[in-house]
Amino acid sequence: MAKKRERLEIIKDILESIRSSRQIKPTRLLYSSNLSPQMFKEYINELVKKEFIRIEIDDKDKKTFLITKKGNDFLAEYKVIENFIENFGL
């Protein structure tokens, strides 16, 4: 059985999906994140709150997600953060 993804790993996966597409629609991001709709919503709300991503709404009222500078910083340091947490058992 595959190991359950940790919270930080899920955040990294979501941010990487957004970054690789530059901007991405909610349905596509939901598929690529491999989360349930409920969990997806929770993570997106958290990422918006932390200012890792922002939501853009176009003229037709369609939403797209974009990664912010803070989100990009997180991705750049993700390995260091992950390594630190695991080495200190936090």
By CB under 8 A, name the binding residues for another protein. Answer: 8, 42, 46, 50, 73-74, 76-77, 79-81, 83-90
| Least distance CB 85 / another protein (angstroms) | 6
Q: Where are the strands (E) in 1-90, listed by range?
A: 23-24, 53-57, 63-67
DSSP state for residue 21 in the 8-state scheme:
H
Alpha carbons within 13 angstroms on the beta-carbon side of residue 31 total 4
Least separation in angstroms between residue 31's CB and another protein is 23
Q: How far is the CB of 16 from another protein (least distance, A)?
A: 15
